[in-house]
Homo-oligomer: A and B are copies of this chain.
Amino acid sequence: MDIRDQHPDLAAWNALIERSLADPDSEPIENLGPDADEAVYDAVFVGGGAGGRFGAAYLRAMGGRPLILDAWPFLGGSCPHQACVPHHLFSEAAAELDRMRWFSDELWFPKFDPSRASIKEIVDLFLAGRGSAHAFMNWQTKEQLDVEYVLNARATVVDRTTVRAAGHTFRTRNLVLGIGARPVTPDVPGIGRHGVYDFVTLVEELDFEPTRCVVVGGSKVAMEYGSFFHATGCDTTIVSRSEVMRSSSLEHVDDDLRRYVVDGMRTRGMELLEGADLVAIEGTGDGPVTGVTVRLASGEQRTIAADMVFLGLGERPDTAALQETLGIEVGPTGRVRTNLRMQTGVPGVYAIGDLIGGPMEMWKARKSGVTAARNIMGEDLEFDYSRYPDFLHTTYEVSWVGLTEAEARAACDEVIIIQMPPYVEGLDTEHLPLPCAEGTMLYAFRRPELSGFQKLVVDGTTRKVLGAHHCGYGAKDAFQYLDHLIHRPEGLTIDELGWMNELFLNPEHFVQLSRLRAGKGRLTHL
């Protein structure tokens, strides 16, 4: 289907995408220049997810000619279809459900009725609306970004300058691989039972209302989906081999922040089994999940009743075909090896996004695509993605950037902590409605212990902010800019921070707390 000279509006795009998804025999969607079969593209992006779409857009903006190929009938990849977008909807639902529980039958809140909260219904809410984001990205990429693409067609990489898709053979100077990764499935008995999901199959296949869930894993996805399930009233146990929030991707989570978050999950009735291994998923015959057997830290086994198992064990790319065709180098976890220009060892072949391993985050996917594009267009640009801000959701937003207190103490002579509740011994912080912060005002006035936690880690010698850590609501967005300020060459001193213009009551109080200490020649804790 050639839509080059058509200009579908958003509703038309939405309908076309839905039709294509529903029919496995639906035809490719082609937005190609008339000379596509003769042209030599500057880059063919195999995969139109976050990295491919942003990379192609940037290359086009620079005056190059990119082509995106994707098997799905929409651009944007897994994020709007199965990953970040549903996760955010579910986490927002979790925060709201949590609030409505804590305030059940108080103020204007009615008595909370857990029978009304349905995982299935919220998943269906997502499914009914996800086409809108897809439609917008197809529309924007064509009409605003002027990028050619072929969708709903599986691409076959022939060699490093040739790709086939939808009956076309495309020639290109460069190949940018961005085919993403898939959730890991462990090899344990019962893994194939009905009722076992990961974040992909949850939205695609959930067909009943779970009442009791075991989440396997202790990293972001496990914390986020587990908190959501539990908030709906589906009692949830997290089974994690290591301590939760301690995986390598969460190494910069401060101990006190982690404690606040994990304590909060337990306060809400979640069970967290740390140091526990998944042994088997139980059921009768080929029947659905009835429980999960785990080996506890003590060595003893325990079977936990459950009708849903959710796997949050990370993701791996599937690179076998690319390895064979292109001879690119792949690491032990399946990730494609690249340099900081996103170049594989094969000239003209780049890899981006989740395909190159962690952090499997949107900013890295997009900026790795842009890095490939800029290098292809002649810039000499390296993208160091080893330092970054990060977040996860429980029923809170949990955000962090830079060093933890422990990391700072290992690196600096003198570390100053500025935090809420204050960094002093013996203060009755449990009944202290601090932080009294935007986003947790209702909690501050009725459930003080739920009003969050915030910590700033400062080098007492250089006065530079080394790290910031937050649990609450409404501060996450600011961590993008704090990351920039902390990691720029000159850094961010407590004096500069304390001279900014706070928008009080800020969700985090870093500006004004810094100001209360900035006058001191020798800094002290607050």
Task: Report the stretch among A148-156, A288-296, A299-307, A358-366 that lies at the interface.
Answer: A358-366
Residues on the B chain within 8 Å of A461, using CB: none
In the complex, whether A389 has a CB less than 8 A from a CB of chain B is yes
Within 8 A of B (CB), among A436-489: 436, 438-439, 441-442, 444-446, 448, 473-485
Q: How far is the CA of A121 from the CA of B60 in the complex (A)?
A: 58
Taking the closest CB of chain B, its distance from the CB of A20, in whole angstroms, is 20
Within 8 A of B (CB), among A119-145: 121-122, 125-126, 128-129, 132-133, 136, 140, 143-145
CB atoms of B503 and A391 under 8 A apart = yes
CB atoms of B474 and A503 under 8 A apart = no
CB atoms of A504 and B96 under 8 A apart = no
Within 8 A of B (CB), among A339-367: 361-364, 366-367
In the complex, whether A270 has a CB less than 8 A from a CB of chain B is no
CB atoms of A110 and B116 under 8 A apart = yes
Within 8 A of B (CB), among A65-89: 79, 84-85, 88-89
Residues on the B chain within 8 Å of A422, using CB: 140, 144
CB atoms of B503 and A363 under 8 A apart = yes
CB atoms of A445 and B129 under 8 A apart = yes
Task: Indicate which residue in B88, B128, B433, B483 contacts A132 across the interface (CB closer than 8 Å).
Answer: B433
CB atoms of A518 and B129 under 8 A apart = no
Task: Indicate which residue in B59, B88, B109, B485 contacts A505 across the interface (CB closer than 8 Å).
Answer: B88
In the complex, whether A370 has a CB less than 8 A from a CB of chain B is yes
CB atoms of B363 and A501 under 8 A apart = yes
Task: Indicate which residue in B133, B144, B502 contacts A436 across the interface (CB closer than 8 Å).
Answer: B133
In the complex, whether A246 has a CB less than 8 A from a CB of chain B is no
CB atoms of A58 and B438 under 8 A apart = no
Q: How far is the CA of A482 from the CA of B108 in the complex (A)?
A: 36
- Chain B proximity mask over A489-508: 1 for CB below 8 Å, otherwise 0: 00000001001111111111
How many residues of chain A have a CB within 8 Å of chain B? Answer: 110
Q: How far is the CA of A486 from the CA of B371 in the complex (A)?
A: 25
Residues on the B chain within 8 Å of A499, using CB: 367
Task: Indicate which residue in B125, B136, B477, B483 contacts A107 across the interface (CB closer than 8 Å).
Answer: B125
Task: Report the stretch among A30-38, A170-178, A258-266, A424-432 that lies at the interface.
Answer: A424-432
* Given A61-B519, A428-B10, A515-B366, A96:B477 Cβ within 8 A: no
CB atoms of A367 and B126 under 8 A apart = no
Task: Indicate which residue in B113, B118, B431, B478 contacts A478 across the interface (CB closer than 8 Å).
Answer: B478
* Given A58-B515, A515-B54, A129:B502 Cβ within 8 A: no
In the complex, whether A166 has a CB less than 8 A from a CB of chain B is no
Residues on the B chain within 8 Å of A213, using CB: none
Which of A364, A366, A374, A388 has the most chain B CB atoms closer than 10 A to its own CB?
A366
Taking the closest CB of chain B, its distance from the CB of A505, in whole angstroms, is 5
Q: How far is the CA of A515 from the CA of B365 in the complex (A)?
A: 13
Q: How far is the CA of A232 from the CA of B109 in the complex (A)?
A: 12
A-B contact list, 9 entries, CB within 8 Å:
A10-B432, A61-B518, A88-B441, A107-B121, A125-B445, A388-B501, A475-B477, A476-B507, A480-B502
Taking Cβ atoms with an 8 Å cutoff, the residues of A that contact B are: 9-11, 54, 57-63, 79, 84-85, 88-89, 92-93, 96-97, 99-100, 107-110, 113, 116-118, 121-122, 125-126, 128-129, 132-133, 136, 140, 143-145, 232, 361-364, 366-367, 370, 373-374, 388-391, 397, 399, 422, 424, 427-428, 431-434, 436, 438-439, 441-442, 444-446, 448, 473-485, 496, 499-508, 511-512, 515-521, 526
**Nearest 10 A/B pairs, CB to CB:** A61-B519, A481-B481, A362-B504, A108-B117, A58-B519, A129-B445, A477-B478, A363-B501, A61-B520, A92-B441
